[in-house]
Amino acid sequence: MSTIQPGGGEMKAITISRQYGSGGGEIGARLAERLNWHLIDHELVARVARVLGIPEQQAEVQDEYAKGFIARVVSLFGSTVPTAASPVVQVALPDQTDENRYQETLRHVVETSADSGRAVIVGRASQIILARRRDVLHVFIEAPLQARIAYVALRENRDAVGAQERIQLKDGDRSRYFQTVYHQNPNDPLLYDLVINTAVLSLDRAVDLICLALEDKAQTLSLPVEALGPARGLARYRGQPADIRPPAQLTDTQPSS
């Protein structure tokens, strides 16, 4: 599958946002493997933490809400990861992290990942940070609560009550984080190019759909923005469409006397 179109441009990244327990993280991993792209998720941050000599318990990063830890790690990301020519350096991390520095560093890491290309970025508020980039596909994975409870119970070896509590905690953290930092609702479908419900569709089928959308969006990169939208390629209606409205008593918002 080609993500480079003649006369157009190249798709650089895919962002995967998800409700907790919807399988979004697993979809991101399978997608990166199929495309042979780089997977940017919490496991990458954890590996960097281990390279930096941080105790293992501090490396248990689950998502973008563990701001203090991620900030300390990614602020050192560019200069402390060892290469073949340089040894591992133990770094003393500060106890406090400036929130503005965290946000700028997070933005830098996400944008650098996209600039480098061939990146599947899971979480990290990447759908907002990269929202203005046409060479990035934004995907949201969702599922009904009961399906998510079953997923978390199976994957994390929890009972149903514990799984639901875990989901409520993660959903609440995610919502508050986005509202506080970005003044956005992370479940807003207009943030995304593609929304997939995994209640029925398998995770592999979700990967199929994302690959199709990636190729489709690549074909639009050569078009001006004003040429995009649902009207692209369509002609006018032959006549005015009928306006069939529901009964007035079902739409009347005025209180009855």
Do 198 and 147 meet the contact criterion of CB atoms below 8 Å apart? yes
Torsion of CA 92, 96, 100, 102, to 10 degrees: 50
Do 30 and 203 meet the contact criterion of CB atoms below 8 Å apart? yes
Nearest to 18 by CA among 119, 142, 110: 142
CA distance linking residue 224 with residue 207, whole number of Å:
28
Which of 11-20, 22-31, 112-121 shows the lowest per-residue confidence on average (mean pLDDT)?
112-121
Q: What is the pLDDT of residue 32?
A: 94
Half-sphere exposure of 4 (CA within 13 A, CB side): 2
Do 165 and 145 meet the contact criterion of CB atoms below 8 Å apart? no
**What's the mean pLDDT in 155-165?**
96
**Strongest mean pLDDT among 15-24, 58-67, 115-124:** 15-24
Share of the chain above pLDDT 90, in %: 46
Contacting residues for 147 by C-beta, under 8 A, at least 6 apart: 21, 22, 198, 199
Using one digit for the tens of pLDDT, what is the confidence trace for 31-62?
999 999 989 886 555 544 444 444 444 434 33
How far is C-alpha 34 from the geometric centre of its chain's CA atoms?
18
**What's the mean pLDDT in 85-98?**
40
Q: What is the pLDDT of residue 245?
A: 82
The amino acid at 58: Q
As a whole number, the mean pLDDT across the chain is 78
Nearest to 64 by CA among 12, 114, 127: 127
Please say if the pLDDT value at position 118 is more than 50.
yes
Please say if the pLDDT value at position 78 is more than 50.
no
pLDDT-derived band at 125 (thresholds 50, 70, 90) equals confident
Using one digit for the tens of pLDDT, what is the confidence trace for 185-228?
999 999 999 999 999 999 999 999 999 999 999 999 988 988 89
**Strongest mean pLDDT among 69-73, 148-152, 223-227:** 148-152
Q: Which residue intervals of 130-187 are DSSP H helices?
A: 145-156, 160-182
What are the boundaries of each domain within the chain? 13-217
**What's the mean pLDDT in 235-248?**
84
Quick one: CATH architecture of 13-217?
Answer: 3-Layer(aba) Sandwich (3.40)
pLDDT-derived band at 79 (thresholds 50, 70, 90) equals very low
